[in-house]
Structure 1
Amino acid sequence: MGAAMETLGSLRPEASDLSSEIGDRRGAAFLRIWQTDRPGRWAVIFSPGDRWFSLEVDGGYSLDLFEEDTPEEEARQLLTKYVDVALAYVRGSMVAERTGRFRAPLVTVPTDAGSTTLRLSLFAGFKAALTPFR
């Protein structure tokens, strides 16, 4: 977890429109980023440094990768990508859409390195399915 904490600390944004916090929870380092004037728009990157990497955003969307024995340089690259996606999302660069046969909701976040798709978590998906349309 030490390497992940160090990497996330080095990637922590320093911008007047953003706030952030870094810490650890249940053996994983995290970096939480949110818009200072819109705290409801947030993203959190979690990882113990290898084995799994997760980006979660408001609304229940996430990007998760599970991989055993991640080399340190690859872990740094993944965390860098997740922070870039988080920053783009928090600043409002995203497109919400529904795809597939069951019209599953997802969010696509464009960055300089390309677009990344975040999918609705199973829990959020079940909750949305049980909520009546308005």
Structure 2
Amino acid sequence: MIRLLRVDDSFLYGKKALLWINATRAKVIVLIDNGLRFDYFAQSLLNMACPPQAELVFLDVEEARAAAVQYRNSREPVIMVAGTFSQLLKLASSLEGLVRVNVGSVRESSSDELQALKKLREQDMEFEIRDLPEDVPVRLE
């Protein structure tokens, strides 16, 4: 089951990953980003900074679309993190039933990203800005 769907261009690592893992009891963190998928140096760094109780899985958007049903139906809690709103928009049709999106660090504010966010909101997705689990969520209205 997908316990947390997040957009965060810094993904999850270190203490932030540990806090979200503890809050969701996830054993798998799926990082979805077309650039990161084949950046083995960045993957190595993220793996080194990942808490030992979780496994990182690196997927591009198409792979994530194919795997989304498996993760939705899994008994094990999963965290899915897309690097951008545009990538999340491409995944949205595969994420049936998931309407709440946690927003972490998003530095890209191009017109394409803002359009993707607008389209996601038109699909009735709800967005909350919250970096850490103990932060008070701010709903994006």
Alignment TM-score > 0.5, same fold: no
Which has the larger helix fraction? 2
| Greater RCO, CA 8 A, separation 6+ | 2
Which has the larger strand fraction? 1
